[in-house]
Amino acid sequence: MSYWDPLPAVRAAESGPLPAPDGGTWLPSAEFRGRWWNPRPDRWAERDWRNVPGPFYGAGTDTCWMGRLIAPAHVLYDDEWGAEFVYRQPRDAAQALALLGAVAQDPMVGYACDGDDHWTPELVRDWWRERGRVREWAAALDRTWSVSSREEEREAAGGGREYVAYIDAALAGDLRHYLFWLSEGRPADPGEPLPALSPRGA
């Protein structure tokens, strides 16, 4: 599958009902629409190191553990403060809507969607080269939280397992498509050669 740009779908969804933590929907007041995304220029510098490369990332979010109630396939919590970060970028409109719903619940306005303006092929390759650090953290989170007495931590442990599985399998392909997107400004056509993540082509 080629790279899918989620930004148009997210922007289009801002004017409509958003997913809510209780499984329903809610309609934000008009003055808040369009104001959740990167209102501060220093968000990129503050991003959590566990964010996967892509347009969306968490940087100084709240610690209320709301994100996984709406977007468990994309949001995970750190184990220091419980702040949120993005461990998988959305791949279709439904996933983009779910992530937007999680973003809109953050009173700290700690999410941003300008990753495409900051990630470069070199930075993506640097992140991939150091992926073992992220994988080790996610595996340790699963080991610790899966036996927690707190139901919320046991649920979030599943996100740690998913992150490990993603790093081990599909992430390399997704990042190669993202490298093409960053370099060419368009998705790769079927069968078109993709950039390598490392000198060895891994």
Return the higher-pLDDT residue of 194 and 36: 194
- Rounded-to-integer distance, Cα 142 and Cα 154, Å: 8
Residue 201 confidence (pLDDT): 46
What confidence tier does 34 reach under pLDDT thresholds 50, 70, 90? low
Alpha carbon distances (Å) from 27 to 35, 165, 170, 185? 14, 35, 34, 33
Residue 133 confidence (pLDDT) above 80? yes
Mean pLDDT over residues 76-96, rounded? 96
Would you call 111 helix, strand, or coil by DSSP? strand
Output the pTM of the full model: 0.94
Long-range CB contacts for residues 148-157, cutoff 8 Å, separation at least 24: 152/65, 155/68, 155/72, 156/65, 156/68, 156/76, 156/77
Percentage, residues of the chain above pLDDT 90 = 81
Comparison of pLDDT for 28 and 38, the residue scoring more: 28
> Considering only CA atoms, which of 115, 105, 63 is closest in space to residue 84?
63
- pLDDT value at position 31? 73
User: H or E segment at 124?
Assistant: helix 121-129
Q: Look at 60 and 174; give whichever has higher pLDDT.
A: 174
- Which pLDDT score is estimated for 200? 61
Q: State the pLDDT at residue 29.
A: 79
- Which tokens sit at 181? 């997107």
DSSP tag of 19: E
Q: What is the DSSP string of 39-96?
A: -STTHHHH--TTPPSSS-EESS--SS--HHHH-TTTEEE-SSS--EEESS---SHHHH
Mean pLDDT estimate for the chain? 93
pLDDT band at 132 (very low <50, low <70, confident <90, very high): very high
> Within 10 Å of residue 192's Cβ, how many Cβ atoms?
10
Give the lowest-confidence range in 21-30, 62-71, 119-128.
21-30
CA 183 vs. chain centroid, Å, equals 20
Higher pLDDT, 43 or 156: 156
Largest separation between any pair of C-alpha atoms in the chain: 51
